[in-house]
Amino acid sequence: MKEKKKLGLGVKILIGLVAGIIVGAIFWAAMGPDAAAAFTAKYIKPFGDIFVNLLKFIVVPLVLLSIMDGVIAMGDIGKVGKIGWKTVAYFLVTTAIACVIGLIVASLFKGAFPILSLAEDAAYEAKTSNLMDVIVNIFPSNAINPLSTSAMLQIIFIAIIFGCGVLVAGEKGKPFGDFITSFNDVTQRVMGFILAVSPIGVFALMVWVVAAQGPKILGSLGLVLLAAYIGYILHVVLVYSMSVKIFAKMSPLEFFRKIFPAAAFAFTSTSSVATLPVTKECCDEMDVHPEISSFVLPLGATVNMDGTAIYQCVAAIFLAKCIGVDLSITQMIVIVVTATLASIGTAGTSGAGMIMLAMVLESVGIPPVYIGIIYGIDRLFDMGRTALNIIGDASCAVCVNTWEGNDALKSEKKTA
């Protein structure tokens, strides 16, 4: 039933998108570029702004609670420590590689991306804080400020450390842990409400973009989509094939054949979390020990998002180019760090990665309102990135299983 609802939303978004393009093109043709840009910016784009505001509003509770809940879901800190660090190391390394792949592919495409003339160009403020500043700024000096200023890295830090606090507090921490799990659930529903009005936001933003730019923008959207999919495919071929081959001694073709049902489900549902039961089933097929898969897969569905990371990097380069900004190497490094963390903070639900894109854009000073340019086709990005996200979770489970699980299986067989 849940799936049906999501598909319904997908169709509505598509309708909003197509209607927005048509109406935008009509404005553009009927009024001429300048008048159409001014009119739609004044009367239609504000509805898109409301939607973007709502996205920005939900992002703080979403990150705080979904990460805290992820840590709490690990159970006992001591027990999960051994498997946990290997899992987290695998997630972090593959996600950082994903970011680099995304940046390289997008940089190759950059020449073909357009520079748009949108009203807010002046809003760009270069943020070139050095890496040391970025690291120091992860650690908050105040518990409330990070929440009110949407300082995402600090929020992620707070989420992890409080999540660990819940685990270490044991029985006494349990009521708080349950509260967080429940609060997280509620927040996911609220995000659902916001996504439910997204077709209107898509429509308004698309009308504005097409009216201001003319239909030529559509070709550019095809290009940025192509860049993202090339990144996804490269990551599958380079990273997952190699890791299952080298670490799990498994034929990559066999791995892809076995994970295909989950990848296909993720592609259509655009939710890692909704795909979880199918991913688990596929891992059972690959003889991953249940103790490993039931730890790695839910954690992965919450924090491991390589497809999302690629998408965020490609989108950041594309949107920077759209507003005529050439990102420096330091800014690219900031993007790798923030996109890795942002993908960790992304909930495994439809469209969540696009919400977190705001954080990546803000880290280099690009106003998040430009997400509107690509929001209309987000589902097309989301299908590929969700499939990649869950393939990444499964590849991790298969590898950790070889590192740890084989022993567990052997000892089980011995005692049997």
Is 372 one of the binding residues for ligand ASP (CB under 6 A)? no
Is 352 one of the binding residues for ligand ASP (CB under 6 A)? yes
Is 37 one of the binding residues for ligand ASP (CB under 6 A)? no
CB of 326 vs ligand ASP, minimal distance in Å = 26
Tokens of 315: 């989108």
Measured from the Cβ of residue 15, the count of other Cβ atoms closer than 10 Å reads 13
Contact (Cβ atoms closer than 8 angstroms) between residue 411 and residue 291: no
CB of 296 vs ligand ASP, minimal distance in Å = 15
CB of 151 vs ligand ASP, minimal distance in Å = 21
CB of 385 vs ligand ASP, minimal distance in Å = 5
43 or 193: CB nearest ligand ASP: 193
DSSP characters over 82-108 = HHHHHHHHHHHHHHHHHHHHHHHHHHH
Which CA distances in Å does 226 have to 168, 292, 330?
Answer: 46, 35, 26
Sole window of 39-47, 158-166, 190-198, 342-350 interacting with ligand ASP (rule: CB under 6 A): 342-350
Q: How far apart are the first and last CA of the chain?
A: 41
Sole window of 43-51, 108-116, 319-327, 383-391 interacting with ligand ASP (rule: CB under 6 A): 383-391
DSSP state of 328: P
The residues in 257-276 that bind ligand ASP, with binding defined as CB under 6 A, are 270-272
Tokens of 253: 């073709």
Is 345 one of the binding residues for ligand ASP (CB under 6 A)? no
Is 349 one of the binding residues for ligand ASP (CB under 6 A)? yes
Q: Is the backbone of residue 326 left (phi > 0), alpha (psi -120 to 50) or beta?
A: beta
20 or 351: CB nearest ligand ASP: 351
Is 340 one of the binding residues for ligand ASP (CB under 6 A)? no
The residues in 295-324 that bind ligand ASP, with binding defined as CB under 6 A, are 305, 308
Q: For ligand ASP, what does the binding mask look like between residues 387 and 416, x meaning CB under 6 A?
A: --x---------------------------
Contact residue for ligand ASP among 69, 382, 393, 404 (CB under 6 A): 382
CB of 360 vs ligand ASP, minimal distance in Å = 12
| Secondary structure element (H or E) that encloses residue 343, with its range | helix 329-345
SS3 content of the chain, % helix, strand, coil (to 5): 85, 0, 15
Contacts of residue 16, Cβ cutoff 8 Å, sequence gap at least 6: 198, 199, 200, 201, 202, 203, 206, 376
| Distance between CA atoms of residues 140 and 63, nearest Å | 16
**Count of residues engaged in binding ligand ASP, rule: CB under 6 A:** 16
Binding site for ligand ASP (CB under 6 A): 270-272, 305, 308, 346, 348-353, 382, 385-386, 389
